[in-house]
Amino acid sequence: MALALAERLSILDKTQLINLRTNALRLQADAGPKAEEAGALLPLIDAELSGRGVGEAKAVRAKPKAAAKPKAGKKAKAAAPPSDDDDEVSELG
């Protein structure tokens, strides 16, 4: 697949190349089954980007994802102890 994709780099626009580079970096970092293929594509993508005048500073690099913070849903809010403000509201009402 890398060869077929490498052949099509010239027809991708700058945004598509940057997205492809970001995905290749992510796949390479995951060390999964596609890591070697992604690693082989990175120099080709970088060469295509540099040929278009997009330097490494402008190309997006993959960043490690931060752990997702759990959102407080209705269940979490219902389980939370009432605040002092809640007491005042119930006294007024």
Render the chain in DSSP notation, one character per residue: -HHHHHHTGGGS-HHHHHHHHHHHHHHHHHTSTTHHHHHHHHHHHHHHHHHTT--TTTSPPP-PPPPPPPP--HHHHHHSPPPHHHHHHHHH-
Tell me: pLDDT of 93 over 80. Answer: no
- Contact (Cβ atoms closer than 8 angstroms) between residue 36 and residue 25: no
Mean pLDDT of 8-12: 90
Phi, psi dihedral angles at 7 (to 5 degrees) = -70, -25
Residue-level pLDDT at 17: 92
Looking at residue 53, its pLDDT comes to 77
Q: Give the residue-averaged pLDDT of 17-42.
A: 91
pTM over 0.85: no
pLDDT score of 74: 60
**Is the model's pLDDT at 57 over the cut of 50?**
no
Q: Which residues contact 9 (CB under 8 A, 6 or more apart)?
A: 17, 20, 44, 45, 48
pLDDT bin (cut points 50, 70, 90) of residue 73 is low
Query: Which among 33, 3, 34, 39 has a CA at the least distance from the CA of 21?
Result: 39
